[in-house]
Amino acid sequence: MKLELKDFYRVMSPRLTVLVSTADKDGNHNAAPFSFCMPVSIDPPLLAIASAHKRHTLANIKETGQFVVNIPGEMLVAAVEKCAEPLPKGESEIIASGLAPGRSETIDAPFIQDAVAYFECALEWVKDAGDHQIVVGRILNAVVRDEYWSEDGFAFQEAMPLLHLSGRNFTAGDRLIMVP
Ligand SMILES: Cc1cc2nc3c(=O)[nH]c(=O)nc-3n(C[C@H](O)[C@H](O)[C@H](O)COP(=O)(O)O)c2cc1C
């Protein structure tokens, strides 16, 4: 069947869901889930998120030039949903959702201690893209919990990164498909 054009992205799913944590210039913390997110360069290490125009996250990134991309595991699904609720600017979704902020090594924006991994980013550029803006960040520090990294790489079956389908529906891919 032909899709309504506005629904194309719903078929591009499930999508890795990240929690982007930021601080405003007064140091107030913020966090919000983003599933429009992808790596764009390995060297230098760059990633991109796409943000709708009115997000506090976007305002904070433009204000400070800093953000952290946190990878939540399946067990944080309730907190991720809570972080998507609109709170007044300056109120921390990290605290409201029962998560713990940590002090980042390279930037002032906090990371989320409960995450499987996190990437501290400095803003490279922002560009208009339709009803969103693309935000590209340079990763200054990348941390993964010891138990989820080995010589085999990322232990995704244990970490169970959260993947968004649509609305309130998520999945966590734990099936390994090995091509012989
Ligand atoms: C699973 C999930 C994924 C989302 N992905 C995005 C996204 O990629 N871009 C976006 O602008 N908003 C996205 N949202 C909506 C924002 O997280 C939501 O509007 C949030 O309240 C924004 O918070 P902020 O204003 O503090 O930045 C998503 C929401 C959920 C639940």
Number of domains the chain is built from: 1
Which atom of ligand 1 lies at the shortest distance from residue 89's CA? 26
Say if 146 falls within a structural domain: yes
In terms of residue numbers, what domain contains 33? 14-171
Rounded CA-CA distance 157/62 in Å is 35
Which atom of ligand 1 lies at the shortest distance from residue 164's CA? 1
The pLDDT tens digits for 62-91 are: 999 999 999 999 999 999 999 999 898 888
Say if 38 falls within a structural domain: yes
Contact 111, 67 (CB under 8 A): no
Say if 180 falls within a structural domain: no
Say if 178 falls within a structural domain: no
Task: Classify residue 63 as left (phi > 0), alpha (psi -120 to 50) or beta.
Answer: alpha
Domain of residue 91, CATH code: 2.30.110.10
User: Phi/psi at 74 (nearest 5 deg)?
Assistant: -55, -35
Say if 52 falls within a structural domain: yes
Contact 113, 49 (CB under 8 A): no
What radius of gyration do the chain's Cα atoms show? Answer: 16
Q: In this predicted structure, what is the pLDDT of residue 173?
A: 80
The pLDDT tens digits for 114-156 are: 999 999 999 999 999 999 999 999 999 999 999 999 999 999 9
Q: Which two tokens stand for residue 126?
A: 């922002």
The pLDDT tens digits for 1-18 are: 999 999 999 999 999 999
Q: Which residues line ligand 1 (CB under 6 A)?
A: 17, 30, 32-36, 50-52, 55-57, 84, 86, 164
CA of 10 relative to ligand 1 center, distance in Å: 15
